[in-house]
Amino acid sequence: MEMTAQKLADFLGAHLEGDGSAIITGVASPENARPEDLIYVDAPKHVSRAEDSAARCALVPQGTLLKDKTLLIVSHPKVAFAKAAMWLTEELHVASGVHATAMVDPSSSLAAGVSIGPYAVIEADVRIGADTEIGAFCLVGRGAEIGNSCRLFPRVNLYPGARIGDRVRIHSGTVIGGDGFGYVLGDGRQIKFPQIGGVEIGDDVEIGSNATIARGSLGATRIGRGVKIDNLVHVAHNVEIGEHTVIAAQTGISGGCKIGARAVIGGQVGFGERCTIESGATIGSQAGILPGKTVRAGEPIWGTPARPLAKFKKQFAWFERLPELAARLRNLEHQSK
Amino acid sequence: MEMTAQKLADFLGAHLEGDGSAIITGVASPENARPEDLIYVDAPKHVSRAEDSAARCALVPQGTLLKDKTLLIVSHPKVAFAKAAMWLTEELHVASGVHATAMVDPSSSLAAGVSIGPYAVIEADVRIGADTEIGAFCLVGRGAEIGNSCRLFPRVNLYPGARIGDRVRIHSGTVIGGDGFGYVLGDGRQIKFPQIGGVEIGDDVEIGSNATIARGSLGATRIGRGVKIDNLVHVAHNVEIGEHTVIAAQTGISGGCKIGARAVIGGQVGFGERCTIESGATIGSQAGILPGKTVRAGEPIWGTPARPLAKFKKQFAWFERLPELAARLRNLEHQSK
Amino acid sequence: MEMTAQKLADFLGAHLEGDGSAIITGVASPENARPEDLIYVDAPKHVSRAEDSAARCALVPQGTLLKDKTLLIVSHPKVAFAKAAMWLTEELHVASGVHATAMVDPSSSLAAGVSIGPYAVIEADVRIGADTEIGAFCLVGRGAEIGNSCRLFPRVNLYPGARIGDRVRIHSGTVIGGDGFGYVLGDGRQIKFPQIGGVEIGDDVEIGSNATIARGSLGATRIGRGVKIDNLVHVAHNVEIGEHTVIAAQTGISGGCKIGARAVIGGQVGFGERCTIESGATIGSQAGILPGKTVRAGEPIWGTPARPLAKFKKQFAWFERLPELAARLRNLEHQSK
Chain C residue with minimum CA distance to B137: C137
Residues of chain C with C-beta less than 8 angstroms from the C-beta of A249? 181, 212, 234, 236, 252, 254
Instruction: Describe the strand order of the beta sheet including A133-134 as a list of residue ranges.
Output: A115-116, A133-134, A151-152, A169-170, A206-207, A228-229, A246-247, A264-265, A282-283, A301-302, A307-308
Q: Which residues contact B13 (CB under 8 A, 6 or more apart)?
A: B74
Q: What is the pLDDT of residue B44?
A: 86
Which chain B residues in 236-265 lie under 8 Å from chain A, judged by CB atoms? 244, 246, 248-250
Cβ-based neighbours of A12, under 8 Å, separated by 6 or more: A59, A72, A74, A80, A83, A84
- How far off is chain A from C93, nearest CA to CA, in Å? 22
SS3 category, B81:
helix
pLDDT at residue B1, rounded to an integer: 77
A318 interfacial to chain C (CB closer than 8 Å): no
Q: Residue range C246-256: average pLDDT?
A: 98
Per-window interface: A 44-63 vs C, CB < 8 A = none
Condensed to tens digits (0 to 9), the pLDDT of residues C122-141 reads 999 999 999 999 999 999 99
Q: What angle do CA A221, A227, A231 make, to 5 degrees?
A: 85
- Give residues 281 to 310 of B whose Cβ lies within 8 Å of A: 285-286, 303
Q: What does the pLDDT read at residue A188? A: 84
Report the residue from C29, C285, C319 with minimal CB separation from B219. C29
Q: Do C27 and B194 touch (CB under 8 A)?
A: yes
Subunits touching B (CB < 8 Å, at least 3 pairs)? A, C
CB contact, 8 Å: B232 with chain C? yes
Instruction: Give the residue from C99, C116, C121, C321 with the most A CB atoms within 10 Å of its CB, the best one to mutate.
Output: C121
Residues of A labelled catalytic:
237
Contact A198, A161 (CB under 8 A): yes
ipTM confidence score: 0.95
Mutate to test the interface with B, among A183, A215, A229, A234 (most CBs of B within 10 A): A234
Query: Is the Cβ pair B79, A189 closer than 8 Å?
Result: no
User: Rounded mean pLDDT of C108-116?
Assistant: 98
- Please check whether residue C76 touches B, CB under 8 A: yes
Taking only the tens place, the pLDDT of each residue in B145-190 is: 999 999 999 999 999 999 999 999 999 999 999 999 999 999 888 9
Residues of B in contact with A190 (CB under 8 A): 226, 228, 244, 246
Average pLDDT per block of 10 residues along chain B, 337 residues long: 93 96 96 96 90 97 93 96 92 93 98 98 98 98 98 98 98 97 91 95 98 96 98 98 98 98 98 98 97 95 94 91 91 85
For residue B79, give the nearest of A191, A304, A329 by CB distance: A191
Does residue A91 have a pLDDT over 90?
no
- Chain C: touching chains (3 or more CB pairs < 8 Å): A, B
User: What would the pLDDT profile of A282-333 be if each residue is shown by its tens digit?
Assistant: 999 999 999 999 999 989 999 999 999 999 999 999 999 999 999 999 999 8
- Write out chain A residues lying below 8 Å of B246, CB-based: 183, 190
Checking if the pLDDT of A1 tops 80, the result is no
Query: Across the interface, do A323 and C335 touch by the CB < 8 Å criterion?
Result: no
Distance CA B32, CA B53 (A): 8
pLDDT recorded at residue C188: 84
What distance in Å separates residue B45's CA from the closest CA in chain A? 16
Q: What is the pLDDT of residue A282?
A: 97
Mean pLDDT of A242-259: 98
Report the DSSP pairing between strands B270-271 and B252-253. Answer: parallel
> Would you call A191 an interface residue with chain B, using a CB distance cutoff of 8 Å?
yes
Judged by a CB distance cut-off of 8 A, whether residue A319 touches chain C is yes
pLDDT mean across residues, chain A: 96
| Chain C residues with CB-CB distance to B305 below 8 A | 316
C202 touches A at CB < 8 Å: no
Nearest CA in chain A to C324: A326
String of b and e for A50-82 (b: at least 16 CB within 10 Å)?
Answer: beebebbbbbbbeebebeebbbbbbebbbbbbb
C204 interfaces chain B, CB cutoff of 8 Å: yes
Mean pLDDT value of segment C21-49 = 94
- Confirm or reject contact between C327 and chain B (CB < 8 A): no
C-alpha distance from B19 to closest chain C C-alpha (Å): 52
Query: Considering C46, C171, C234, C237, which one is annotated as catalytic?
Result: C237
> What are the residues facing B157 on neighbouring strands?
B139, B175
- List all residues of chain B from 11 to 30 with a beta carbon under 8 Å from chain A: 27-29
Q: Are B68 and B53 in contact (CB under 8 A)?
A: no
pLDDT tier at C89, thresholds 50, 70, 90: confident
As a whole number of angstroms, the distance between CA C255 and CA C279 comes to 19
CB contact under 8 A, B218 and C136: no
Residue B57's pLDDT is 97
In this prediction the pTM is 0.96
| C224 has a chain B CB within 8 A of its CB | no
B130, with CB counted inside 10 A (0-12, 13-18, 19+), is: middle
Q: What is the pLDDT of residues A19-60, one digit of tens each?
A: 999 999 999 999 999 999 999 999 888 899 999 999 999 999
| Distance of residue C53 Cα from the nearest chain A Cα, in angstroms | 38
Residue range A150-169: average pLDDT? Answer: 98
A209 touches chain C (CB under 8 A): yes
Closest chain C C-alpha to A187 CA, distance in angstroms: 35
Q: Are strands B15-17 and B70-73 parallel, antiparallel or unpaired?
A: antiparallel
Q: In sequence order, which residues have a C-beta less than 8 Å from that of residue A230 and are 6 or more positions away? A: A208, A211, A247, A248, A249, A250, A251, A267, C181, C234
A204 to C185: CB separation less than 8 angstroms, yes or no: no
Nearest Cα of chain C lies from the Cα of A188 at a distance, in angstroms, of 32
Closest by Cβ to C178, choosing from A86, A172, A244: A172
Structural domains in chain B? 3-88 (3.40.1390.10), 103-311 (2.160.10.10)
Q: Which residues fall within 8 angstroms of residue B205, CB to CB, at 6 or more apart?
A: B165, B168, B169, B223, B224, B225, B226, B227, B228, B229
By C-alpha distance, the chain B residue nearest A268 is: B268
What's residue C250's pLDDT?
98
Say what the pLDDT of residue C150 is: 98
Average pLDDT, chain C: 96
- Which band of pLDDT confidence, cut at 50, 70 and 90, is reported for residue A280? very high
Q: How far is CA A101 from the centre of its chain?
A: 31
pLDDT score of C189 more than 90: no
Taking CA atoms, what residue in C is nearest to B287? C286
* Cβ-nearest to A286 among C142, C236, C288: C288
Nearest to B212 among C117, C231, C303 (CB): C231
Give how far A112 is from chain C: nearest CA, Å. 25
Which residue type, as a one-letter code, is found at position C35? Answer: P
From C248's Cα to the closest Cα of chain B, the distance in A is: 8
CB B155 within 8 A of CB A157: yes
